[in-house]
Structure 1
Amino acid sequence: MVTPPHPLPMHTTADTIRQWLDQHHITEIECLIPDMAGQARGKIVPRHKYDPAQGLRLPIAVLEMTVTGAYPEQDFVPVADPDMRLVPDAATLRLVPWAKEPTAQIIHDCLHFDGTPVELSPRNVLRRILAQYERDGLQPIVAPEMEFYLVQIEPDEDIPLRPPIGRTQRTEAGMQSFSIDAVNEYDDIFDVIYDWCEAQGLQLDTLIHEMGTAQMEINLDHGEPLALADQVFLFKRTVREVAIRHRMYATFMAKPMQGQPGSAMHIHQSVVDAASGRNIFSLPDGQPSPEFFHFIGGLQAYLPAATAFFAPYVNSYRRLSRYTAAPINLSWGYDNRTCGLRVPQSSPEHRRIENRLAGVDVNPYLAIAASLACGLLGMRERLQPSAPLTGSAYEQPHQLPRHLDDAVERLLTCTPLAELFGEHFLRTYAAIKDAEYREFFDVISPWERRFLLLSV
């Protein structure tokens, strides 16, 4: 087991980073930034070539790429294709547990050379929303829950995915929700996941078997949103690496297999008073506060326009369909899992709202930022939610975009979200999603060839 990294306070000096690197005998450094899809971009640098005081350079256009590596038709970065500065965030300094040689990984912030944040950086977008909370004397708290599938390795993307073979040399039969024995089929994988996450300081909570065949869920402890987004970003890298080393894939697609449930990243969120630490969702007598209801009202009002952040790909909308244990509307209820917005049973000091809209395919920085932005607008505008639902929300009408093209159109027409996120970022993100949608739409599916080729 790899020794866990020593925690570092925020805003540590370059000398402190150097001391940490020396202490761990680091030979290489993975200098990372999350791109618009949440993928790790950056450079791998030999230790003797890395100067934390100077950082690195990378083209700004990296943040304009689609998930396929293409670009929108319109340029949203200068035509000269300039660089940006990558400045290390010392709080993200960690070991790479799977590396053969002592290797560090550091998430970097993206800055212009005048020191201002790059508007297209997802990490900077989340910082921008958190600054709005700070302006109001508030501190949001989040806890993500991540679902994912383990599947057999299949290099041919035209062949449907299949569940992996476990330690009994069999694949799962039927749904195995909350089955301990089904999880134990993959004990070797989860032992390594927990070890490697501990080595990186990723605060894992519970592990369960979800509804789907070889579908798992791992929760992270609650905490500060930027730190939790970083942990989700690193967690996905870790789980994929562990699975490959055990001769299978781990996939965070929202809907990877026909006939199986989709995978979500539920976001539990609350807000505390920055000065006192008091949960503002509860009154002193323990009853729900006006801010609690306003936050729900904001989610109901603005999540339809923000859906492109929670369902960022064409595949995402296969999950958001009726009777698939995923939300199709924004009803809310107390301990009601059919609702898009669920309020779990809890003590007043832990009162929180669970946003169940996001698929696990999201960029965690943008999904958390969007959820917090919608709630913040609700509190500022003092929006009132609908009445809590006690029945099934699956019987209610659709309230969300049905496909990516619709979601992008709604996003572009929402002025309050544009003001919070920045007009330039919003238009760039929409152009990226539009480019991805057009690229997908050019592909002819097996269904079309099977049923239309000789029948119409």
Structure 2
Amino acid sequence: MNHNAQAIQQWLDDHHITEVECLIPDMTGLARGKIVPRHKYNPAEGLRLPEAVLSMTVTGDYPEQDFTAVSDPDMRLIPDASTIRPVPWAKEPTAQIIHDCVNFDGSDADLAPRNVLKRILKLYEQQGLSAIVAPEMEFYLVEVQPDEDIPLRPPVGRTRRTEAGMQSFSIDAVNEYDDVFDVMYDWCEAQGLALDTLIHEMGTAQMEINLDHGDPLALADQVFLFKRTVREVAIRNNMYATFMAKPMQGQPGSAMHIHQSVVDADGRNIFSQADGSPSDAFLHFIGGLQTYLPAAMPFFAPYVNSYRRLSRFTSAPINLSWGYDNRTCGLRVPHSGPEARRVENRLAGVDVNPYLAMAASLACGYLGMQQRIAPSEPLSGSAYEQPHQLPRHLDDAIDTLLKCQPLAEIFGEHFIQTYGAIKEAEYREYFDVISPWERRFLLLHV
């Protein structure tokens, strides 16, 4: 038995586990996999799952074209011992383990989002570098409403009232939902999810959670598990937690801002020179983001709903301007000491697959450093006054991605074509739905 499998078996023994949830993140970022009784789980062997799971749309459908073998073969799921955690809400002692998707010849399955992020991180490793990220996740608590035709509403808090107006940074407004957040913190601590700050955001019952900075793969795993955890806590408190980018009309959207820096083998931040000033690598990283983010938008705004957030004067970016401590810009450089110099990518909605969003942002920055792309001048005014520089709709974004050869080379042509086809299938399915707005204003008026 290999060391990875031995470590897993020991952990399962120590925690008296009776069931194992074997998880993989799918293309949407949802947990897929199998639940296996402990006595039937062999971590040295892993288990099997159809490869086609990696080409599913958010509705559970598939693109018209086959991007996996027509024979519908299996792939192997190999557990990553570093990801083993308890399932705090389970009635019986249960473990959850994130697995890697592997072909039977031992190679990585190229459609697996976790492998895609590993692929990008390997590019940094080959240069003697490591990327560091810190995600910030916004989400809404909403009233339970099983009828999807009825607009969402904020939930009732401990005062038996819904929030009035917008309560940015209000402590009392957060305390309205203490029953949710007390359990959330306990469950996250049990799973080793490194929560940093909880704040009330601009929207009604909109919250933001920041995670401690660290290795991108570990942080993507934490975002993946955090979303699952918060949804579970909310349901047990008779409300929903939603990570839609724009769940309610007239309310701000929800983002997942990604803070990024790069360190060398000695742990030195390469975005700063010895005298503390910005380095060429820092500027080139920004230049790469400005150049390639438009083509990578399907990773940051993956659904039709995502683009409702990216509109002028909604506290969301509409272009690729960058500036020092300028929140109107798509790319913000927060105030910090030289050792913590970083770039905050504010484009991503919280509806993203965290593995793909982090991979895409780091890939764009990597291309900028490799190609030594100079950025624009930093902006000190409002970027909301600047022209749109990003795709306005999902179908435009898909077309732009499929035409970008540098991203195809970094992500792999097979992955890019598959991802594009998945998004096209989702867009077609959405386009078949007639909205209430169309019935209200067009039914009898045109």
Same fold (TM over 0.5): yes
Q: RMSD of aligned C-alpha atoms?
A: 0.6
Q: Equivalents in 2 of 1:416, 1:12: separation in Å?
A: 38
Equivalent in 76, 84, 94 of residue 85 of structure 1: 76
Change over 3 Å in CA distance of 1:324–1:12 after alignment to 2? farther
- CA-to-aligned-CA distance 1:73-131 (integer Å, 9 cap, x gap): 00000000000000000000000000000000000000000100000000000000000
**Structure 2 counterpart of 1:155:** 146
Q: Equivalents in 1 of 2:68, 2:244: separation in Å?
A: 29
Q: Equivalents in 1 of 2:8, 2:114: separation in Å?
A: 21
How far does residue 351 in structure 1 lie from its aligned partner after superposition? 0.3
How far does residue 163 in structure 1 lie from its aligned partner after superposition? 0.3
- CA-to-aligned-CA distance 1:110-157 (integer Å, 9 cap, x gap): 000010000000000000000000011110000000000000000000
- CA-to-aligned-CA distance 1:139-184 (integer Å, 9 cap, x gap): 0000000000000000000000000000000000001000000000
Give 1:432's aligned amino acid.
I
Equivalent in 342, 349, 366 of residue 359 of structure 1: 349
**Structure 2 counterpart of 1:7:** none
Q: TM-score, normalised by structure 1?
A: 0.97
Task: List structure 1 runs of 4+ shifted beyond 6 angstroms.
Answer: none
How far does residue 19 in structure 1 lie from its aligned partner after superposition? 1.0
Give 2:36's aligned amino acid.
V
Alignment of 1:410-429 (within 5 A): 410-429=400-419
Q: State whether residues 96 and 103 of structure 1, in contact with CA within 8 Å, keep that contact through their aligned partners in structure 2.
A: yes
Equivalent in 329, 342, 361 of residue 339 of structure 1: 329
- CA-to-aligned-CA distance 1:250-296 (integer Å, 9 cap, x gap): 000000000000000000000000x2110000000000000000000
Q: Equivalents in 2 of 1:13, 1:116: separation in Å?
A: 18
**Structure 2 counterpart of 1:277:** 267
- CA-to-aligned-CA distance 1:335-360 (integer Å, 9 cap, x gap): 00000000000000000000000000
Equivalent in 21, 38, 41 of residue 47 of structure 1: 38
1:408 aligns with 2:381: no
Partner SS for 2:130 = strand
The runs of 5 or more residues in structure 2 that have no matched partner are none
Partner SS for 2:152 = coil
Alignment of 1:262-341 (within 5 A): 262-273=253-264, 275-341=265-331
Change over 3 Å in CA distance of 1:12–1:259 after alignment to 2? farther
- CA-to-aligned-CA distance 1:222-242 (integer Å, 9 cap, x gap): 000000000000000000000
**Structure 1 counterpart of 2:247:** 256
How far does residue 16 in structure 1 lie from its aligned partner after superposition? 1.7
Equivalent in 20, 23, 26 of residue 32 of structure 1: 23
Q: Equivalents in 2 of 1:295, 1:270: separation in Å?
A: 9
Q: Equivalents in 1 of 2:6, 2:292: separation in Å?
A: 44
Q: Equivalents in 1 of 2:5, 2:58: separation in Å?
A: 33
Q: Equivalents in 2 of 1:215, 1:19: separation in Å?
A: 41
Q: Equivalents in 1 of 2:106, 2:394: separation in Å?
A: 35
How far does residue 377 in structure 1 lie from its aligned partner after superposition? 0.2
Q: TM-score, normalised by structure 2?
A: 0.99
Q: Size of the alignment, in residue pairs?
A: 445
Q: Equivalents in 2 of 1:113, 1:296: separation in Å?
A: 39
Partner SS for 2:293 = helix
Q: State whether residues 4 and 80 of structure 2, in contact with CA within 8 Å, keep that contact through their aligned partners in structure 1.
A: no
- CA-to-aligned-CA distance 1:415-440 (integer Å, 9 cap, x gap): 00000000000000000000000000
Partner SS for 1:13 = helix
Alignment of 1:211-222 (within 5 A): 211-222=202-213
**Structure 2 counterpart of 1:230:** 221
- CA-to-aligned-CA distance 1:31-81 (integer Å, 9 cap, x gap): 000000000000000000000000000000000000000000000000000
Q: Equivalents in 1 of 2:270, 2:142: separation in Å?
A: 42
Q: Equivalents in 1 of 2:28, 2:349: separation in Å?
A: 13
1:130 aligns with 2:121: yes
Q: Equivalents in 1 of 2:171, 2:202: separation in Å?
A: 13
Q: Equivalents in 1 of 2:69, 2:92: separation in Å?
A: 39
Give 1:131's aligned amino acid.
K
How far does residue 12 in structure 1 lie from its aligned partner after superposition? 4.0
Q: State whether residues 340 and 357 of structure 1, in contact with CA within 8 Å, keep that contact through their aligned partners in structure 2.
A: yes
Partner SS for 1:236 = helix
Give 2:445's aligned amino acid.
S
Q: State whether residues 12 and 90 of structure 1, in contact with CA within 8 Å, keep that contact through their aligned partners in structure 2.
A: no
Q: Equivalents in 2 of 1:292, 1:20: separation in Å?
A: 42
Q: Percent identity?
A: 81
